[in-house]
Structure 1
């Protein structure tokens, strides 16, 4: 497997993180799909207030990803 760019992964995280694109880029397709579902379902249901819970979970996960991205880029799956 080829090594991924940490800078590009952080750029993807910053602009498209709520869609899990940085995880797709680093080869974490399964968790990328989960982040995509959390983001889409969360934003789709914020009008009825249910969506804030999945978004809160996603935002905590994205903060944790700040520290995990370098490792994900060194060891892509």
Structure 2
């Protein structure tokens, strides 16, 4: 759904980190439409003028930490 926006982030991550490291950016149609200090502020402000589901909120950090999650389980299968 927001593949285009996420791809934009990945392709421009290095430049975005230089400008916005540690901040939350809002991406829509391959354009940064907002920069915020918190994820909540980014969401609240962005939904005022854009439909929810049409924009991506992404924390800007170097590496993959901001968009990668690891899940661990202690389940044993027999």
Query: TM-score scaled by structure 2?
Result: 0.28
Question: Which has a greater percent of strand?
Answer: 2
User: Which structure would you say has the larger RCO, counting Cα contacts within 8 Å and 6 or more residues apart?
Assistant: 1
Higher helix share: 1
Larger Rg: 2
Instruction: Report the TM-score when normalising by structure 1.
Output: 0.28
